[in-house]
């Protein structure tokens, strides 16, 4: 795995906290990785977006391959997917269809092909967002792949991987208390508990500030050209949040907080034990385009 | 995917409250009076209608912000021109002009007066407030043509609102010298106290039902800081809030201006109002800010 400079022996994705709480059912070689740090891979490619800001599928595919081999320590993307999923799995790809900055069909396609490369038949793969509770694949899923963009959010601070599971409850507002503090609780619902094999936080065109009722303004969207990939959703969200906050500092010229704190990420660690939000316990692997990294 | 709300009949001509005082205000019939077509952009005759109970279906996670400002009803109009070209006109009835100002000011970055009582246009999004209405007109992607239609639609909505509404009186108690005007925020939910500098996730100042708060940034030569004014139901409630804030944020129930995270903060009570300074660069700046605000409040009596 020359491009990442990381070999199997160095592979140390820690799923101690994630696995301990959620019993992720990851393959033995992943769980056997030395405890201590959660690995998060940031991969960037300045060519991933076209002139209109849409992702190019072929470039995305390369980025995911880089990220997954770095994450898992496997030699190829196929082997990486095979280390996460098997032919017997029924896989729900939890997407996000927010109109202005969606997960994108391109990323969904890349993830679906990746899941298929692990031997999962197409008939056992579903992609959905708001319809997951009624989706037959999600209802009987043995594994989940969680993919969404990060953006500033009126009430939770940021839209995060952790928050992306709010569609697994019929009454999302019931999780809105204290600025969505306990979104981590969602991950203990039977329909998702222990099933998440991979988290992909799209940082292709994140939004660092939200205004107006739809919390969208292209003025606050920028081309970061990145994907954050990891097993530990809290660690991945934490790194994404650092990028958002750094972009806010650069734009506003001061240390302006998000209108509401994104404390659901911290609480996902301390209250719900989904992973780690502690930067000292996150091993961040940076691949590709390095300009304006904000980290 | 656009939410599909249940269609509800528009109830108009209600007795409405504006600025905290009951008025028999004429209610605009936006559905009837807004143009069905502007420069080739057409809308259905009936808007989508939401209230606090189902607004989350439409705003996709953003409803709580509007609920925290007391939203009563939302009319959503969709003007379309060809495939994938849409301008959304959202008319929020916030119940009072205070709340309409509050939700408008919540996200603004600068002061503009092109539409209504205050407006802001940026990258395809026009927001403004007038009387008890907060209005958003969003044209995305932004083009020269959509920009003109967004502005025309904004002016059309504003013209249907017959009068201006009063600002929250608390805003008038903010000292004027060195105030950053676009930073003024008005709110009645404690979470927005953290919008200028993070204080705490908990409600240390007892902001909620029966209280009002304003917050603003100041940029005097001595250094930037944040000032908060909170108006309570009575002096007893104000004193109680002071004790809680001093104990939990300043470190002691009797604390005066105190160093907090390498900056300075303090609180002073004037009758049923609290003056709070946050994120000040020095004790002197914090003391001066508290004194100036207390002076304005005392003069207003």
pLDDT digits (tens, 9 = 90+) for B34-70: 999 999 999 999 999 999 999 988 987 788 889 989 9
Q: What is the pLDDT of residue A35?
A: 65
B8 pLDDT above the threshold of 90: no
Asked if A194 and A22 touch (Cβ cutoff 8 Å), the reply is: yes
Nearest CA in chain B to A97: B1
Look up tokens 């409850």; give the residue. A169
Contact A94, A129 (CB under 8 A): yes
Alpha helices in B124-229 (DSSP H): 144-160
Q: Coil, strand, or helix at residue A21? A: helix
**Residue B12, pLDDT above cutoff 70:** no
How sure is the predictor about A11, in pLDDT bands with cuts at 50, 70 and 90? very low
Distance CA A198, CA A112 (A): 12
Least confident of B15-24, B56-65, B103-112, B253-262: B15-24
Residue B15's DSSP bridge partners are none
Subunit contact A212:B138, Cβ cutoff 8 A: yes
pLDDT value of residue B76: 97
What local confidence, expressed as pLDDT, does residue A260 receive?
83
Assess contact for A68 and A102: CB atoms under 8 A. Answer: no
Gap between the Cα atoms of B151 and B130, Å rounded: 15
Beta carbons of A159 and B90 less than 8 Å apart = no
Q: Out of A178, A219, A257, whose CB is closest to B122?
A: A219
Query: What mean pLDDT do residues B75-88 have?
Result: 91
Which positions in chain B touch A100 (Cβ < 8 Å)? 140
Distance of CA A109 to the CA centre of its chain: 16
User: Cβ of B142 and A130 within 8 Å?
Assistant: no
Domain that holds residue A239: 8-288
Instruction: Establish if A293 belongs to a structural domain.
Output: no
Q: What span, in angstroms and rounded, lies between the C-alpha atoms of B191 and B199?
A: 10
Query: What are the residues whose beta carbons fall under 8 Å from the beta carbon of B19, sequence distance 6 or more?
Result: B96, B97, B98, B165, B166
Q: What is the pLDDT of residues A212-252, one digit of tens each?
A: 888 888 899 999 999 999 999 999 999 999 999 999 999 98
- Among A155, A254, A263, select the one facing B64 at the smallest CB separation: A155
Please tell me the distance in Å from B202's CA to the nearest CA on chain A: 8
A73: closest CA of chain B, how far (Å): 37
**Rounded to an integer, what distance in angstroms lies between the CA atom of residue B170 and that of residue B174?**
7
**B280 lies within 8 A of chain A by CB:** no
- The beta-carbon neighbor of B59 closest among A214, A218, A260 is A214
* Strand pairing category for B263-270 and B258-260: antiparallel
Q: Which of A164, A183, A212 to mutate: most B Cβ within 10 Å? A: A212
Query: Least CA distance to A171: which residue of chain B?
Result: B56
Nearest residue on chain B to A170, alpha-carbon basis: B57
On chain A, the residues whose CB falls within 8 A of the CB of B94 are none
Q: How far is A215 from chain B (nearest CA, A)?
A: 7
Contacts of B142 in chain A (CB under 8 A): 218
Q: Is A191 exposed, middle or buried (0-12, 13-18, 19+ CB in 10 A)?
A: middle
Pick from A154, A217, A257: CB nearest B61: A154
**pLDDT > 70 fraction of chain B, expressed in percent and rounded:** 92
Interface contact B78, partner A, CB < 8 A: no
Q: Does B9 touch chain A (CB under 8 A)?
A: no
Q: Is residue A3 part of a domain?
A: no
Contact B213, B284 (CB under 8 A): no
Give the closest-approach CA distance of B66 to chain A in angstroms: 8
Strand partners, A225: none
Residue B140: its pLDDT value, please?
A: 86
Q: Is the pLDDT of residue B297 over 50?
A: yes
Domains and CATH numbers, chain B: 16-160 (3.40.1000), 169-300 (no CATH)
At CB < 8 Å, which residues of chain A contact B? 97-100, 130, 153-156, 159, 172-173, 176, 178-179, 181, 210-219, 254, 256-257, 259-261, 263
Summarize pLDDT for B151-161 with one digit per residue, the tens: 999 999 999 99
A98 is a domain residue? yes
Beta bridge partners of B266: B277
Among B151, B144, B149, CA closest to B128: B151
Mean pLDDT of chain B: 89
Interface check for B198 against chain A (CB to CB < 8 A): the answer is yes
Any CB–CB contact under 8 A between B262 and chain A?
no
Instruction: Quote the ipTM score.
Output: 0.77
Name the pLDDT band for B181 (thresholds 50, 70, 90): very high
Is residue B177 less than 8 Å (CB to CB) from chain A?
no
Q: What integer is the mean pLDDT of A12-33?
A: 40
The verdict on a CB contact (< 8 Å) between B107 and A156 is no
Has residue A230 been placed in a domain? yes
Three-class SS of residue B196?
Answer: coil
B11 reaches A (C-beta below 8 A): no
Question: Which H helix or E strand runs over B37?
Answer: strand B37-38
User: Which residues lie below 8 Å from residue A9, measured CB to CB, with a gap of 6+?
Assistant: none
Average pLDDT in chain A: 88
Which residues partner with B278 through β-bridges? B226
Contact state of A260 with B123 under an 8 Å Cβ cutoff: no
* Cβ-contact A286, A45 below 8 angstroms: no
The pTM of this model reads 0.83
Asked if A216 lies within 8 A of B125 by C-beta distance, the reply is yes
Whether the Cβ atoms of residue A275 and residue A269 lie closer than 8 Å to each other: yes
Our count of domains for chain A comes to: 1
The answer as to whether A199 is a domain residue is yes
CA A217 to chain B, closest CA, distance in angstroms equals 7
Using the predicted structure, report yes or no on whether residue B81 has a pLDDT greater than 60: yes
Quick: pLDDT tens for A282-291: 999 999 999 9
d(CA A127, CA A197): 15
Report pLDDT for A25. Answer: 44
Q: Is the pLDDT of residue B79 over 70?
A: yes
Q: Tell me the pLDDT tens digit for each residue of B221-231.
A: 989 999 999 99
As given in the structure block, the two tokens for residue B167 are 């600002």
**pLDDT digits 0-9 by tens, A68-101:** 999 999 999 999 999 999 999 999 999 999 989 9
Asked whether residue A1 is domain-assigned, the answer is no
Burial letters for A105-139: b for 16+ Cβ neighbours within 10 Å, e otherwise?
A: ebbbebbbbbbbbbebeeebbbbbbbebeebebbe
Of chain A, the percentage scoring pLDDT greater than 70 comes to 88
Let me know if residue A270 belongs to a domain: yes
Please tell me the distance in Å from B29's CA to the nearest CA on chain A: 21
pLDDT at A32 (0 to 100): 34
- Alpha-carbon distance of A254 to A245, in angstroms, equals 10
* pLDDT at residue A200 in the model: 98
CB of B63 less than 8 A from some CB of A:
yes
More confident residue, B47 or B202: B47
In this structure, is residue A132 part of a structural domain?
Answer: yes
Sort B83 into a burial class: Cβ within 10 Å, 0-12 / 13-18 / 19+: exposed
| A76: Cβ contacts below 8 Å, ≥ 6 apart | A65, A69
The answer to whether B59 faces chain A, any CB pair under 8 Å, is yes
């Amino acid at each position: 795995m020359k491009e990442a400079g990381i070999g199997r022996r160095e592979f140390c994705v820690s799923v101690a906290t994630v696995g301990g709480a959620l019993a992720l059912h990851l393959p033995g070689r992943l769980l056997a990785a030395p405890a201590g740090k959660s690995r998060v891979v940031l991969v960037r490619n300045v060519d991933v977006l076209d002139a209109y800001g849409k992702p190019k599928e072929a470039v995305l595919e390369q980025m995911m391959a880089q990220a997954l081999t770095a994450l898992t320590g496997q030699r190829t993307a196929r082997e990486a997917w095979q280390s996460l999923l098997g032919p017997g799995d029924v896989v729900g790809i939890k997407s996000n269809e927010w109109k202005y900055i969606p997960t994108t069909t391109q990323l969904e396609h890349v993830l679906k092909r990746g899941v298929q490369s692990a031997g999962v038949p197409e008939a056992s793969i579903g992609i959905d967002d708001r319809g997951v509770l009624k989706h037959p694949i999600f209802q009987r899923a043995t594994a989940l792949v969680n993919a969404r963009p990060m953006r500033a959010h009126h009430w939770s601070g940021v839209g995060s991987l952790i928050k992306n599971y709010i569609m697994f409850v019929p009454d999302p507002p019931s999780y809105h208390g204290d600025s969505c503090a306990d979104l981590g609780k969602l991950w203990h619902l039977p329909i998702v508990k222990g099933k998440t094999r991979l988290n992909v936080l799209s940082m292709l065109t994140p939004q660092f500030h939200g205004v107006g009722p739809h919390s969208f303004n292209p003025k606050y969207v920028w081309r970061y050209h990145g994907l954050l990939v990891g097993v530990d959703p809290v660690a991945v969200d934490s790194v994404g949040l650092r990028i958002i906050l750094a972009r806010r500092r650069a734009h506003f010229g001061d240390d302006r907080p998000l209108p509401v704190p994104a404390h659901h990420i911290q609480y996902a660690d301390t209250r719900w034990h989904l992973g780690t939000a502690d930067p000292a316990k996150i091993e961040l692997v940076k691949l590709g385009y390095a300009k304006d990294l904000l980290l | 995917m656009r939410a599909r709300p249940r269609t509800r009949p528009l109830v108009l001509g209600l007795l409405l409250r504006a600025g905290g005082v009951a008025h028999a205000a004429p209610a605009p019939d936006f559905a009837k009076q807004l143009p069905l077509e502007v420069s080739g952009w057409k809308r259905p005759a009936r808007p989508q209608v939401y209230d606090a109970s189902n607004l989350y279906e439409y705003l996709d996670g953003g409803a709580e912000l509007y609920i925290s400002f007391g939203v009563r009803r939302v009319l959503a109009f969709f003007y379309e021109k060809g495939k994938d070209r849409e301008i959304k006109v959202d008319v929020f009835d916030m119940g009072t002009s205070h709340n309409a100002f509050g939700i408008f000011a919540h996200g603004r970055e600068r002061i503009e007066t092109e539409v209504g009582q205050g407006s802001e246009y940026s990258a395809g999004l026009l927001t403004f407030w007038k009387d008890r209405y907060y209005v958003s007109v969003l044209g995305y992607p932004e083009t020269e043509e959509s920009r003109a239609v967004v502005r025309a639609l904004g002016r059309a909505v504003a013209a249907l609102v017959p009068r201006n509404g009063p600002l929250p009186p608390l805003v008038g108690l903010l000292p004027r010298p060195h105030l950053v005007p676009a930073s003024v925020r008005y709110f009645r939910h404690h979470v927005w106290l953290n919008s200028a500098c993070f204080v705490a996730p908990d409600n240390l100042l007892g902001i909620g039902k029966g209280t009002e708060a304003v917050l603003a940034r100041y940029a005097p030569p001595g250094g930037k800081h944040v000032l908060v004014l909170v108006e309570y139901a009575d002096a007893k409630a104000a004193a109680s809030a002071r004790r809680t804030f001093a104990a939990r944020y300043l470190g002691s129930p009797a604390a005066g201006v105190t160093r907090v995270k390498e900056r300075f903060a303090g609180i002073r009570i004037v009758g049923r109002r609290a003056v709070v300074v946050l994120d000040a660069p020095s004790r002197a700046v914090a003391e001066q800010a508290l004194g100036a605000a207390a002076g304005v409040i005392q003069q207003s009596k």
